Amino acid sequence: MENPLLQPSSLPFGAPRFDLIRPEHWKPAFEAAIAAGKAEVDAIAANPAAPDFANTVEALEFAGAALDRVSGLFFNLLEAESDDAMQQLAEEISPLLTDYELYISLNETLFSRIRTVYDGRDALQLAPDQRKLLEESYKGFTRSGALLSPEDKKTYASLEEELALLELKYGKNVLDATNAFSLEITDEAELEGLPQYVRDAAAQAAREKGRSGWRFDLSHPCYVPFLQFSARADLREKMWRAFNARALGGPYDNSGNCLKITQLRQRIAQLLGYADWAAYELEERMAKTIGAVRRLLDELMAPSLPAARREVGALLAWAQKQGYAQEQMLPWDFPYWSERYRAEHYALSDEQLKPFFRLEDCIAAVFGLATRLYGVQFVERKDLPVYHPDVRVYDVQDADGRHLALFYADFFPRPGKRSGAWMTNFRELALRGGVEERPLVSIVTNFTKPTADAPSLLTHDELTTLLHEFGHALHGMLAEGRYPSLTGTNVARDFVELPSQLMENWGFEPEWLHTFARHWQTGEPIPDALVERLVAARNYHAAYFQVRQLRFGLLDLAWHTLRKEIPDQVGDDVVAIEAQALAGCAVLPDIPGSCISTSFHHIFDGGYSAGYYSYKWAEVLEADAFSLFQERGIFDRATAASFRENILSKGGSEDEALLYRRFRGHEPDPQALLKKLEII
């Protein structure tokens, strides 16, 4: 039987054959693709011709195309449509991939050719993207052990293999721990405070499990509204404790994995000549140094922490007047009282807003916004196969009809799909042998599913999530260039969130909201007064949420800088390490038995190690960037064209700081974010 993973797709635009892929295809496909990739690498290394940019650097960039294709499908499905067999397969495949990566990075003959080209780079008259590819290729080798001794190369290889397996195990534990919990309610009185849409979704979840009553789990569209609306403090506490103790102890404990992962990263960094993992990672970021990151976090934390404490203090005082009996605001009570306060003081609640944000309308509006800004069109292709019935696929076309990308959208939660929302590519943009391969872009979310009585209705937060992930998608879809590693979202980690966070701003612009927000039952447009209250409430508890993000950034740095600021007596107690890292910046009380680190996907298996600060770094960029749209008009095509030309289309083909200055005309200023959030 032919393996569809190893055959060129006969479908339009090279769309993946999700309809033909079977579980038994994966491992043979990986083995064959790895063998082909190694053969291509061997041919480059053994080329008798003198090394030059084309026969060495460019050739290596395009080597392993089959493996890129198989990996791009497998690891995305591992996140969105997984099961125990896929997880087991990932553990089997991971060592094979690590071996392949090391086969390249520790290949002395290949590196010698790269080094020869790199040493003569000033005489080569390379285009900016070619020079960047050469520099990144050389650094890729040196950062992967090419300059190590033979003995140290063996050590490096074993550490990398162990790390890859541990990261997989960490992610599997979080998924399993999340799926292991459910709160099942059979007494309707215990649903007090929950809006009808939350009850309907929970009833449907129970029916899908063959149960009566209502079933609540730890997925985002279930967990968040439960804490916001449930009038039962005891049940809120139960949900909160379950969520915040995921993979802490028990059969899916990640405590040891947190320690082992960071210790392995530390050993790898020092082996390569860096002080710690943060120094290693930041070399490839806009920030460049730990000092620059700490300055940013400190500059934002200094005014934000006291402001956040004032916000929580004011909320506590108000809640106590409403009968709240606690002397301090407990973390499972904060969302509930925050929602009640917002509803009273701003006459605004998610329940009021949701009827105006039907998912279908929001999708059309987001597509329409891209059309208005960039001229692109989205044509649904129901003839192309998808990996789950919920998934939709669109042909993305430029204003002149040129095909730009296939866009896959996967909106609803299900077992085997991790929580949260993300954008990814099944295939990167590439120009292979003069033939352009446009990208295959995907966004994955966990929005509330339609029920028998109502369509999928978004909270406003979910609308901004859709805008956020779509901003990433635009970065991929509007990419131009020739080298996969330098196009689309392949940019510095602290730059990649700029397009996504920029898009969120339109979610608060009345001029855009009024173009689509209509009540799903009556068709009435969203009232002006409701939009005004939404805008007025935009910065509600902004300082609190800013501090929350800054704390995540501090915790990340603590894990990846040898825990330099943590006393030795803390030892290897993960909870104690976390408490020490976050000492002095608490806004709500710390609760025994809870832990962030054991389920902190972003930094332990999600690619954001020593990089969580980048959300705030990018927020500074977007606050400054959006001010230009505000000055010229939020639909100004000239400003959008400049953003597309200088940011979205360029990927990582040039230095990100240069790209930003080219668009904005000056360096970004952290004060722009503090002003936007009305903290100063």
Cα separation, 328 vs 316, in Å, equals 7
Interacting residues of 295 by C-beta distance below 8 A, sequence separation 6+: none
Distance of CA 527 to the CA centre of its chain: 33
Instruction: State the amino acid at position 438 in one-letter form.
Output: R
Tallying the residues shown for the chain, one arrives at 680
How many C-beta atoms surround the C-beta of residue 416 within 10 A? 17
For the annotated catalytic residues, the residue numbers are 469
3-state secondary structure of 409: strand
DSSP letter, residue 507: G
Helices (H), 514-611: 528-536, 542-560, 574-581, 601-604
Residue ranges of alpha helices (H) inside 386-504 are: 460-477, 498-504
d(CA 281, CA 290): 10
Write the secondary structure of 368-407 as one string of H (helix), E (strand) and C (coil): HHHHHHHCCEEEECCCCCCCCCCCEEEEEECCCCCEEEEE
How many other C-beta atoms can be found within 10 angstroms of the C-beta atom of residue 209?
Answer: 13
CA distance 255 to 166: 12
- Cβ atoms within 10 A of the Cβ of 311, count? 20
Q: First-to-last CA distance in the chain?
A: 65
Residues 6+ apart with CB under 8 A from 155: 271
Residue with tokens 């080329």: 47
Please spell the DSSP secondary structure of 286-350, one letter per residue. Answer: SS-SHHHHHHHHHHHHHHHHHHHHHHHHHHHHHHHHTT---SS--TTTHHHHHHHHHHHHSS--H
* Strand pairing report for 430-432 and 214-216: unpaired
